[in-house]
Amino acid sequence: MPNQKTMESFNQQINEEIFSSYLYLSMAAYFESKNLKGMAHWMRLQTEEENMHAMKFFDFVLQRGGKINLSKIEGPKTDWASPLEAFEDSYKHEEKITSLINNLVDLSLKEKDHAANAFLQWFVTEQVEEEANVLEIVEKLKLAGDHPEVLLMIDKELSQRTLTTTPAPNN
């Protein structure tokens, strides 16, 4: 019998992960409009990664015999003042997701839902990586300041990104 409280919260987290995907897709469009193809590429992969996060929760709920209740996805922001502002927003967003994951861990402990707790450990580790990756880019963009040649170098570097993700326990 699945724990109802955990399953409801996991359904909410599916919405959050799909929103993350939507937000990064919007950022990809912003970077495309600025002809920063490397950053757009990075964000497109980020979108894919977020879809995978949503699907991990989706599959886990089903595996536990829970019910999937998909809810409305909020529209993301569509414009940013600079690449730095977009990546700073991305970092703030990841901090918010980390705190949501931590809340889910707290709930799993309170509910003594050990399966959910074990499943969530992958996300705890993943969030450390998510925050670190974005923060590194934020710091580089700060160093670039008003130098377009440095911005283009960072753009080129980000065009090299490939999708790497650690397998989750339910994979």
Q: Which is nearer to ligand OFO, 97 or 104 (CB)?
A: 97
Q: Which is nearer to ligand OFO, 50 or 151 (CB)?
A: 50
Return d(Cα 101, Cα 116) in angstroms, integer.
11
Distance of CA 160 to the CA centre of its chain: 19
Least Å distance, CB 91 to ligand OFO, is 10
Structure tokens at 115: 């399966």
- Say whether residue 94 binds ligand OFO (CB under 6 A): yes
Least Å distance, CB 31 to ligand OFO, is 17
Please measure the distance between the N-terminal and C-terminal CA atoms of the chain and give it in whole angstroms.
Answer: 21
Return d(Cα 166, Cα 171) in angstroms, integer.
10
φ/ψ of residue 76, rounded to 5:
-80, 165
- Say whether residue 130 binds ligand OFO (CB under 6 A): yes
Return d(Cα 97, Cα 105) in angstroms, integer.
12
Q: Which of 6, 9, 11, 20 binds ligand OFO (CB under 6 A)?
A: 20
Least Å distance, CB 147 to ligand OFO, is 29
Site residues (CB under 6 A) for ligand OFO? 17, 20, 50, 53, 94, 97, 130
